[in-house]
């Protein structure tokens, strides 16, 4: 598995866990969402620990919590659907700016860019899924991701330019 700058990490299901074509889109969506979760948990924890602004720290904590909750839902759905989505912990998804002098600004920029990309990708994949439970999961996930994007934009607008 490899993390891209956008936070999307691609992993393949094992051959023994592959499902018919109609269900493979469901597994792919869950896999992509899981990989976004792993990257955003790391990003949120970094902001919580190293952020300068208490609002950024609090937002980082909220992101980490929300993405952990979302990942638990993915694990339950994957089990229910009988698909593998690479639920192992992976420490390769650490944010690239962890040594930055401007953690808050870099964090908010990363959140905005990564959320825009992840939301667009999830919306593009939504029509491809076959299971109602996965469509419902996508609807809930898009709501949370959009809230995170809106919060990051708001915090960025409140921050002084560096």
What pLDDT was estimated at residue 41? 94
pLDDT (0 to 100) of residue 99? 55
Supply the pTM of this predicted model. 0.79
- Residue 136 pLDDT > 80, yes or no? yes
For 58-103, write each residue's pLDDT tens digit.
999 999 999 999 999 999 999 999 888 875 554 444 555 555 568 8
Kindly state the percentage of the chain with pLDDT values over 70: 75
Considering only CA atoms, which of 87, 83, 88, 89 is closest in space to residue 129? 83
- The angle formed by the CA atoms of residues 71, 103 and 111, to the nearest 5 degrees, is 40
Buried b vs exposed e over 138-154: b needs ≥16 C-beta within 10 Å?
beebeeebeebbebbee
């Amino acid at each position: 598995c490899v993390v891209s700058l956008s936070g999307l990490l691609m992993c393949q299901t094992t051959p023994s866990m592959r499902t018919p074509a109609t269900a493979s889109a469901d597994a792919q969506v869950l896999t992509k969402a899981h990989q976004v979760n792993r990257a955003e948990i790391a990003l949120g924890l970094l902001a919580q620990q190293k952020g300068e602004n208490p609002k950024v720290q609090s937002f980082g904590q909220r992101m980490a919590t929300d993405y952990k909750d979302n990942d638990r839902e993915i694990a339950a759905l994957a089990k229910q659907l009988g698909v593998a989505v690479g639920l192992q912990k992976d420490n390769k998804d650490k944010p690239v700016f962890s040594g930055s002098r401007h953690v808050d600004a870099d964090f908010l920029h990363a959140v905005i860019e990564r959320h825009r990309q992840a939301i667009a990708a999830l919306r593009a994949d939504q029509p491809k899924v076959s299971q109602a439970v996965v469509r419902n999961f996508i609807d809930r996930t898009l709501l949370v991701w959009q809230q995170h994007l809106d919060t990051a934009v708001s915090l960025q607008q409140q921050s002084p330019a560096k």
